[in-house]
Structure 1
Amino acid sequence: MSISKQPSAAETDLAEIWGDIVSRRQLAISLIIGAVVSLLFYAVALRLFQGIGSSPAIDKALAMLMGIVGCLTGGLICSRLFKPKRHLSEDPSGSDDARIAVLQQIENEEGEIGNARDLPETVQAEMKEVGLYDLFDQYYQNQKTGDR
């Protein structure tokens, strides 16, 4: 017997798009804003550029270029209206064993993990700042000696 939890209203409003979680409502509003702004830019540009180019095809191409600018403008508007919902936090209870398991998974998926000592000094400094340098260094040294 299995008991399944009913998703909340907030959870059913979410969708996964290109590996990111978004609000369906905000996605729909963003699509409408993007379509309206890009079509508005295109229509205005088509009128403004009419007769400027050497042929009607050039006029339409210029208007289409402005339509692309309209798409970017719509994206900018939506990015200002809808702030990210993602909150990242570090789990201080994460053990070194869990981190090593992640490194092993990365190695299995991406290939051998190199020596952190071979990285540029600025990268090493950043890794030390966030507490990852020693973990990568220890993992590499254990990898060389066969201790896993």
Structure 2
Amino acid sequence: MTDRTPARAAGTEGQLAEIWGDVVSRPQLGKAILIGAAVSLAVYGIALETIAPLAATPAIGKAVAMLAGIIGCIIGGAICARAFRPKRVVVEEVPTGAMWQTEVLDQLVQEGGPIGKVEDLPASVAGEMKEVGLYDLFRDYERNRARSGEGN
């Protein structure tokens, strides 16, 4: 279940919104829309006045101007990408044994019963778990539960 209530940003960025699975600043989104529209319409208008009259037919001239307007959208996007840097920090590696990981495993045990032993896993599954860094987490969790007397 996801909470659709907008969250307040900690800084001066204003409210945040989720759009297409990404979190953005609403004020910066508004500025980006205005910049994109202004640049694309300006490029379209300039192309319509300068390049379109040189075309063989008016239809081709308008099509070329529209293509220039699309290129203007890309230019506007590049301007906005430089002006409004991403707010998130991507962490590719989480240290094993983090408190939240143990809490998730505790919740799995409470909701679904024992999680089993990593030694009982097929070699292919154990290999995949090692690749993504989950094997050691489950093994350590299992050992800690055995030490504390909770066992499976």
The alpha carbon displacement at 1:74 in A equals: 0.4
Note the alpha carbon deviations across 1:43-64, whole angstroms, 9 max, x for none.
Answer: 1111221332221111010000
Q: Which residue of 2 aligns with 1:58?
A: 60
Match of 1:95 among 87, 101, 109: 101
Structure 2, unmatched stretches of 5+, are 1-6, 109-121, 140-152
% identical equivalent positions? 44
- Highest CA radius of gyration, 1 or 2? 2
Q: Give the TM-score normalised by the residue count of structure 1.
A: 0.58
Task: Tell me which residue corresponds to 1:67.
Answer: 69
Q: Which amino acid aligns with 2:32?
A: S
Query: Paired residues, what number?
Result: 113
1:46 to 48, 67, 85: 48
Q: State the one-letter code of the partner of 1:31.
A: I
Q: Spell out, residue by residue over 1:78-132, the C-alpha distance to the aligned partner (whole angstroms, 9 max, x if none).
A: 0001111012343633537847x6xxxxxxxxxxxxx9959xxxxx7xx73x525
- Flag the 1:72–1:93 CA change in 2: closer, same or farther, 3 A: same
Relative to structure 2, which stretch is displaced further, 72-81 or 87-96? 87-96
Partners of 2:52 and 2:64 within 8 A in 1 = no
Confirm whether residue 84 of structure 1 aligns to residue 86 of structure 2: yes
Q: TM-score, normalised by structure 2?
A: 0.57
Which stretches in structure 1 are left out of the alignment for 5+ residues?
1-5, 102-114, 119-123, 139-148
